Amino acid sequence: MQYRSCLFFFSLLLLCPSCHTWQRNITVGEVSYSKFRYTGRERESEYAYSIGMLAEVARVNGLMYKGYLHLRGNGTVSGGILAQPVFLCETLFPENTWVSFSPEGWLETCALPDSMDIQGFPVLGTGGGVKGAHASFYPSGDLRLFFTGKDMEVDGIPCKGGLLSYIELYSGGRLKKCTLSRDVVIDGILYRKGSGLKLTETGRILAE
């Protein structure tokens, strides 16, 4: 069974050599790349169909990008690095921010080059790029999930900061989920530091 799976995989590679090798100094759809490859996903996939290193700053889907650019099969951007500041989700995102968009065109995630406030919350920046700490958004544009550089209170709940603990919000900004940064008593019940806390949109505790 394992042999057949391997044989099928290598057959796909032989049928589509450009899916797994970089092509150098190529222009695709009026965009110039220093290197470019297809990911091997189906053209209709919601994820990146191609990945390329831009040869120069390029305007794609109305925004200016530099560095690596991830595109879907229909030409929409699934992810890229901003070459200039842009205003999205009530926030001015700086150059070098990594942004990724849904197939419908709304901002799904970002990775900031430096820490900054987004919709009143201190969001951690880790240099930008696809591998940085990401913040995510609702289709409405409201902040959904983020990392922060230090412990903070949200709706009176002490939430732990750092790269290992995220804070999740409801659309509108109410706290949905976090890891406690210290012991806390809520409605007469003690919740220990390090516990995960989940709340309803009205602030009632759902789980420890």
For the chain, give the percent of residues with pLDDT over 70.
89
- Answer yes or no: is pLDDT of 130 > 90: no
Domain limits at 184? 149-208
Query: Sorting pLDDT into bands at 50, 70 and 90, what band is 207?
Result: low
Give the CA distances from residue 134 to residues 36, 100, 163, in Å, rounded to whole numbers and listed in that order: 25, 10, 10
Least confident of 126-130, 135-139, 158-162: 126-130
Query: Sorting pLDDT into bands at 50, 70 and 90, what band is 131?
Result: confident
What is the reported pLDDT for 20? 67
Residue holding tokens 């070459």?
Answer: 83
What DSSP state is assigned to residue 10?
Answer: H
CA distance 18 to 90: 40
In a domain, 166, yes or no: yes
In a domain, 186, yes or no: yes
Query: Sorting pLDDT into bands at 50, 70 and 90, what band is 6?
Result: very low
Distance of CA 202 to the CA centre of its chain: 27
CA distance 18 to 5: 21
- Answer yes or no: is pLDDT of 191 > 90: yes
The predicted-structure confidence for 93-108, as pLDDT tens digits, reads as follows 999 999 999 999 999 9
In a domain, 179, yes or no: yes
Count up the domains in the chain and report the number. Answer: 1
CA distance 19 to 170: 39
In a domain, 171, yes or no: yes
In a domain, 196, yes or no: yes
The predicted-structure confidence for 46-82, as pLDDT tens digits, reads as follows 888 999 999 999 999 999 999 999 999 888 999 999 9
In a domain, 30, yes or no: no
What is the reported pLDDT for 43? 83
Query: Sorting pLDDT into bands at 50, 70 and 90, what band is 4?
Result: very low
For the chain, give the percent of residues with pLDDT over 90.
75
Mean of pLDDT over the chain:
89
Give the mean pLDDT of 130-149.
95
What pTM, to 2 d.p., does this model score? 0.85
In a domain, 97, yes or no: no
| Torsion angle (degrees, nearest 10) of CA 95, 105, 74, 30 | -30
In a domain, 175, yes or no: yes
